[in-house]
A and B are shown apart, each in its own frame.
Chain A
């Protein structure tokens, strides 16, 4: 059973029923699921979690769902001790949380699995989203599994290669002839008019909660403790805030000790509204026009930016941005030290991790977790320049002529 008791406004604190709404009716601030933690604490234990399934649903008592869940095998992804990368960066206790290894190759499966489960419970015949990548694929895949119709809105000028991994699940793909902003505006009108479950609009409070499982897994995989530092990418800021919430909940339920984790926001310099606000000492996150190769986290007006900023500050962390060149370097460094091919958002995280290590912000013996949210196979073209094969004839002579010295070395 679910211990979710209400939706609560993050700004004014007013509570409302667990319905498909995402904004407080009074102040238009985001709503969040709140729980009966007292009852939850009686039902949750390490033993029960460990005996659960080897996926995100081992934590179902901490999620806002009842009954059968829509699961395509998400979660419990590897937490890898990154000794090679750690040596490069001078960090002795570095771990990579590799969320590339989810069914649709990104962390979005965690949030979408919860959102689509709720969409089915609410009786929505259709689920929808606007996305060009990770979210689109995950929504389409889960809708296929749940026998729900899916509408995926994309800008018309997107390259076909980017949407094949969504189209394969057979959603209704709608190419909108307009800019990203036009698609945003259209979607906010659609959600008002149609009785659809819009994954990151009216289902957003539930969608958000799925991200907490990333924190739960990190804590469990570290032997039931919170890390000293977490570096995670921020687009809308939702994932970042829910990693923080997940650690706090585990502590509150006495599954781990007190949380002293420093939370570090990682953004691309071409789309860094949260970092800008952090550096300016501002309370409000002012929107920007994104211009970066890190498309999956290029959100200029982050819905949870304010709260991500708050989590970074309150945890004694920071917010840091890296250039497109540093992103590519980060992708290559991770691949060539740990054998993990991450998408550009992963390059952002590794680039920021490097900056924080070099500046001494993260100390040599800090237990540090870098969160890698999606696979590089989603956007291989950004590192296409890496392909420089040695061309030879199919003979031993030709091989030795071109590569003889290298082979002997």
Chain B
């Protein structure tokens, strides 16, 4: 089992959708929220995903496909 720490940033049109709930149901991924700030305009959630590596990848791909920005919690690793 692998663990991945990620940050989801939601655009306003997705604020009302239960994306994290669906992520846990559509894929074999356990979601564990650690920090979040969600308002009516925008929101971000820092969470840990646990599951098989491939299942986490597929889940993240699905979330990103919905229009959510997905970043590593550590921020951008690539530096100039």
Q: Which residues of A contact B (CB under 8 A)?
A: 11, 22-23, 26-29, 129-135, 153, 155, 180, 183-185, 187-189, 192, 198, 200-201, 204, 235-236, 283-284, 286-287, 295-305, 345
CA–CA, A286 and B41, complex, Å: 12
- In the complex where A27-B34, A286-B42 touch, is A236 in contact with B79 (Cβ < 8 A)? yes
Q: Are A284 and B75 in contact, with the CB atoms below 8 A?
A: no
How many interface contacts (CB-CB < 8 Å) are there between A and B?
A: 99
CA–CA, A11 and B74, complex, Å: 14
Q: Are A298 and B3 in contact, with the CB atoms below 8 A?
A: no
Nearest A residue (CB) for B46: A28
B35 at the interface (CB under 8 A from A): yes
Nearest A residue (CB) for B47: A28
CA–CA, A130 and B74, complex, Å: 13
Q: Are A131 and B79 in contact, with the CB atoms below 8 A?
A: yes
CA–CA, A201 and B75, complex, Å: 9
Q: Are B76 and A180 in contact, with the CB atoms below 8 A?
A: yes
Q: Are B77 and A200 in contact, with the CB atoms below 8 A?
A: yes
CA–CA, A35 and B37, complex, Å: 31
Q: Are B34 and A26 in contact, with the CB atoms below 8 A?
A: yes
Which of A132, A192, A283 contacts B78 (CB under 8 A)? A132
Chain A binder among B13-21, B23-31, B65-73: B65-73
Which of A129, A188, A201 contacts B4 (CB under 8 A)? A188
Q: Are B80 and A298 in contact, with the CB atoms below 8 A?
A: yes
Nearest B residue (CB) for A11: B35
Q: Which residues of B contact A (CB under 8 A)?
A: 2-5, 7, 9, 34-35, 37, 42, 44, 46, 48, 53, 69, 71-80
Which among A153, A155, A185, A295 has the highest number of chain B CB atoms within 10 Å?
Answer: A185
- In the complex where A284-B44, A286-B9, A296-B80 touch, is A301 in contact with B75 (Cβ < 8 A)? yes
Which of B34, B46, B74, B78 contacts A180 (CB under 8 A)? B78
Which of B3, B69, B71, B79 contacts A200 (CB under 8 A)? B79
Which of A26, A184, A297, A345 contacts B77 (CB under 8 A)? A184
Q: Are A184 and B44 in contact, with the CB atoms below 8 A?
A: no
Q: Are B44 and A201 in contact, with the CB atoms below 8 A?
A: no
CA–CA, A185 and B8, complex, Å: 14
CA–CA, A134 and B79, complex, Å: 8
CA–CA, A28 and B4, complex, Å: 11
Q: Are B77 and A201 in contact, with the CB atoms below 8 A?
A: yes
Which of B5, B9, B75, B80 contacts A132 (CB under 8 A)? B80
CA–CA, A153 and B77, complex, Å: 10
Which chain A residues lie closer than 8 Å to B74 at the CB level? 22-23, 188, 201, 204, 303
Q: Are B77 and A130 in contact, with the CB atoms below 8 A?
A: yes
- In the complex where A27-B34, A286-B42, A287-B71 touch, is A295 in contact with B76 (Cβ < 8 A)? no
Which of B3, B69, B78 contacts A131 (CB under 8 A)? B78
Q: Whole-angstrom distance from the CB of B80 to the nearest CB of chain A?
A: 3
Q: Are A28 and B80 in contact, with the CB atoms below 8 A?
A: no
Q: Whole-angstrom distance from the CB of A41 to the nearest CB of chain B?
A: 33
4 cross-chain pairs, A with B, having the tightest CB-CB distances, nearest first: A303-B75, A296-B80, A188-B72, A130-B78
Which chain A residues lie closer than 8 Å to B37 at the CB level? 283-284
Q: Are A184 and B76 in contact, with the CB atoms below 8 A?
A: yes
Q: Are A185 and B78 in contact, with the CB atoms below 8 A?
A: no
Q: Are B80 and A133 in contact, with the CB atoms below 8 A?
A: yes
Which chain A residues lie closer than 8 Å to B75 at the CB level? 236, 299, 301-305
Q: Are B72 and A299 in contact, with the CB atoms below 8 A?
A: no
